[in-house]
Amino acid sequence: MSEKLESIPPQEPKLESGQEPVANKPWVKSRLARFLGIGAVTASTLLGVPQYQKIHYANEVKTAGENLGMNLEEFARNMKVNVTLEVYDKEANQYIVHIGQVHHLPGMEVNNPELASEVIDSQLKISQILDTLVKVNNGTTNIFVEGVLDTSLDLLSVYKEKVQNIRSVTADKDSYRKIYNDIWVGVDENRGLGTSAEALFAYVLNQELPRLEKEFRNNPPQLTVEEKVDFDKYERELRDLRKKVYDKHGDSAIYLFLGATAKAYFDGTVNLLPTEGETRQEMNKKASEIGEVYYDNVDERKRRSPIRESETIDIIGGSVTDNQKVIPVVFGEGHNFADDVIRHNGQHPDQRFNLIKIETGYNI
């Protein structure tokens, strides 16, 4: 769970010097009490959903929005999210934007469909948020995502190449066979594609099969009897894969099983960079040894999270260039990067960050 914030009584807040009231605007909150003595709101939750309250609208929040080229109040209202300026350094011109997420866990779509629905809602919001931040960055954005290691990127790049190959297939008698082979090359047929890969390819096929179908209607391929059998077989295999996923989950499958960041990565709108280091590697190793129950240990998560957060900020500091003004970091909302950003700014006076947190609606 995230650190609790200083509560504000429900009555009209008393304004301090330099602050402006925001009547009935419960969308932007400023957690600067520890650093600047400015009012904040509580992050108390009811069934995992934040309780929105009337708040101060700190001038620093407004300044942050102006520096980003966006109105944070309007952004928060339109997206139905909470936006918190957690660290403000007037010497900093780069903004780490922690986007809180809920992500898929194995079997949740069967064992906990309500939580699966929350995952989809969270990831849909993140998709919209990333679209906005990419526009602010004037193009493709480097983003940092929870759990991504160098080894993760190696595998993701393999699948991105598969997706690119599928999207570049032209309409001819070998189209469906080429796509089928691109999907299955390098895959252990005994183990199958796996749920995430099925969701990815179903998403891509849902776009590409109609494209090919339209081209074939306009220009039917000339096929022999044997070629027609081969053509129909591969087309059927691809349509069955798409149907298997979409009949169960529809358009939500890509958000449930891969998430908004992976979708954006495969769509080519963002780049992923390694986010976590040795601590996550150790956690993954233990999880493989004793099972997913390792991740269900609340005490272990609490012990590991501060180390992971520290490593993540160090990795960001060593990875980003000075010209990336907005640095999206997609992690669970329970993570708190404020202390490590402050530590980093003190240790690296020539590379200082501000920190904004966006809560997508669930504190898990």
Phi, psi at 89, each rounded to 5°:
-125, 115
From residue 54, give the alpha-carbon distance in Å to each of 17, 36, 303.
18, 20, 33
Residue 283: the pLDDT is: 55
Identify which of 242, 257, 243 has the alpha carbon closest to the alpha carbon of residue 110: 257
3-state secondary structure of 201: helix
Neighbours of 20 (CB within 10 A): 10
> Six-digit token pair at 262?
């992976």
CA separation for the pair 260, 211 (Å, rounded): 24
Residue 27: the pLDDT is: 41
Residue 301: the pLDDT is: 53
CA separation for the pair 198, 183 (Å, rounded): 9
3-state secondary structure of 126: helix
From residue 67, give the alpha-carbon distance in Å to each of 21, 52, 62, 71, 94.
21, 25, 9, 10, 9
Residue 147: the pLDDT is: 79
Residue 44: the pLDDT is: 30
pTM of the model: 0.76
Burial 236-263 (b: 16+ CB within 10 A, else e): eebeebbeebbeebeebbbbbbbbbbbb
**Residues 77 and 88 sit within 8 Å (Cβ to Cβ):** no
Those residues whose C-beta lies under 8 Å from the C-beta of residue 3, and which sit 6 or more positions away, are 43, 336, 338
Phi, psi at 272, each rounded to 5°:
-100, 140
**How many residues make up the chain in this entry?**
364
Each residue's pLDDT, cut to its tens digit, for the chain (364 residues) gives: 333 333 223 333 334 444 443 333 334 444 332 233 222 222 333 233 333 322 334 567 778 888 788 888 888 888 888 888 899 888 898 999 999 988 777 777 777 788 888 888 889 999 999 988 888 777 668 899 887 877 778 888 999 999 999 999 999 999 999 999 999 988 877 778 888 899 999 999 999 999 999 999 999 999 999 999 999 999 999 999 999 999 988 999 999 998 999 999 999 989 988 887 665 556 555 445 545 544 455 455 555 567 788 889 999 999 888 888 889 999 988 888 999 999 999 999 999 999 999 988 655 3
Residue 67: the pLDDT is: 79
Residue 194: the pLDDT is: 86
Phi, psi at 133, each rounded to 5°:
-70, -35
Residue 189: the pLDDT is: 74
pLDDT in tens, 78-135: 888 888 889 988 889 899 999 998 877 777 777 778 888 888 888 999 999 998 888 8
The H helix count followed by the E strand count for the chain is 14, 11
Strands annotated E in 111-162: 141-145
